[in-house]
Structure 1
Amino acid sequence: MELTLRPATPTERLYAKRQCIPIMERCGSPGILVAELDDSGTAFCSHWDIWDPAWKTPEFSVELDAMIEMLRSDQRYGPVLKNIPAMIAYCLNNQESRIMQSPEYLFRVDAGYHAYLLRCTPSELLDNAYIYAYRRDLLERHMKEAEKGIRFVTTEGKEKFRVSDGEQIRIITGGDGTRDRTARYIDAGHMELSHEWGSTVYSIREFAERLEQTGGMVIPMRSTLPDKCYAVLPSSDEIIIVKKGESGYYRTDKYGHDRAEALEVASECNERGGVTKAQTAAMLAGSLFGWEVPAADPKNYDEQGQPIKPKRHDRGNAR
């Protein structure tokens, strides 16, 4: 059996956690195998955390066993699942697989008809390997479809904005409370909103209707925006602080003698914080006009923070 092992991409990382049932079904997931390694390499205890009999076929089980055996014994692959020392060595030699600054490392394994996301946590004494199994073709198709983003619409179905799969949104309740949720793409008409304590699946129209009934609203919390930045208030040339997801601004003790100097001071502060001019322009627009408007997305600005003019479509012979 041919096998490939490589660090998982940021998109693939979204599938290396417990999924809602609709996503698991669309991706042909047999389930999640949880394994425990020891230092000697003599033990490999495992159990299924969740599984779907429709996809957990005898053919899949044979393929899975062969894949695990290769990851435990074949030097070409570490062997990453031989024991804890081997897992540590392989993870340290593949730092690009590390998930942010966490002690977890994530790899994708392709074997047979399936793709596996292998999450390694060698610092844990128990449950130090998780294997998320998917039908490879269905996983690839779902990731491709999810590139279109998740639509948030009015009750009439008119699109308000989109967020990328796995992005955060903020629900502002009728009583001005806030609830941040992670949005996952299921299909063109459905999404999952999850938080620390669980998740809920909605049709996009159903979610819009619930917001209207409760007097709430929803805004995107784009990961391409910083948590805060400095900006210059257009009406007074005052240097202000803008925070993502909040309307209005905060005053600062920074100032400039004129607009040009104020812009320079704000730009220097932002540069020290790693904030670009495009992000600054989008943050200011979001705080003034709403975070769901196109102007609050940094992709709509150039490197100098100037709006990018939309491309004119060739109308051919149309008049």
Structure 2
Amino acid sequence: MDKKKFILEFIVEQDGVLLREFLHSHGISKRTLTAVKYDGGLLLVNGSEQTVRHLLKKGDTVTVQFPSEEPSVGLVPETGNLAIVYEDEAILIIDKPAAQGTIPSRDQPNGTIANFVAGKFEAEHVPSTVHVVTRLDTDTSGLVCIAKNRHIHHLLSGQMQTTGFERSYIAIAEGYIEKDTIIIEQPIGRKDGSIIERTVRQNGQYARTDVRVLSRFERNGEPYTSVSLRLHTGRTHQIRVHMQWLGHPLAGDDLYGGTRRLIGRQALHCASIGFRHPLTNEPMTFMSDLPADMVQLNPVSSQSK
């Protein structure tokens, strides 16, 4: 069976605009237009194929038929369970459990969210590869956003660059954090001698994390702090590195100074994401409840998002 084409339609609202400029004003990138031109897509004006130099008139109907995308090399489609929170023609929101990778890696080449989404797309004849918009570390649980088309991915990435895409996390840190709110603005780069670990370093990339204390509590006589965190940037291991720099590594995060006495993975959960829908511009917010291992560590945190 042929794969369904991804198609967008627009109505022109003024005379004298070049098709190229009109499409650019609707967020269609030069790279996407090149793919449409050379990889099997179509640009139609009132049902007739046109070039990007075509001069539009008010009331014209512009149709963009995007080419089918081939799955990424090395991404094997698999059948598996996905906790789907929301889905439409453009986006897919999934609630990822801890211990499952977002994309294949050397340590987890199969069974990831991307493998299962690729299998879902193949079964449903979705003409796209897997475009992960928000990636989570393997042992971080919570919401993952996936775009169903390279154009949708481009639009959502644009929102992330302009802070229009909000991501909020709940974490449990070791020790008592004294201040109720903290803004951490510390650059992050790769740690010397490691291909995995990151660290705060002055020649790193700008990174900002907002921290808000939810509760302070004790377990087995040791102090912990439940916090809500908001990301303004998306550096690798950003929250984990910033909390280590603060002197309060996450419980269970033995890579960044935490201990696994009470929980077997970093106590970090993506609890909400919010953005404007890339096609309708409608504000959308999605929530995810804390998983059982974090609730058991501090039941109060599950009630304070």
Q: Same fold, TM exceeding 0.5?
A: no
Give TM-score, length-normalised by structure 1: 0.26
Which fold has the larger relative contact order, with Cα–Cα distance below 8 Å and residues 6 or more apart in sequence?
2
Bigger radius of gyration: 1
Give TM-score, length-normalised by structure 2: 0.27
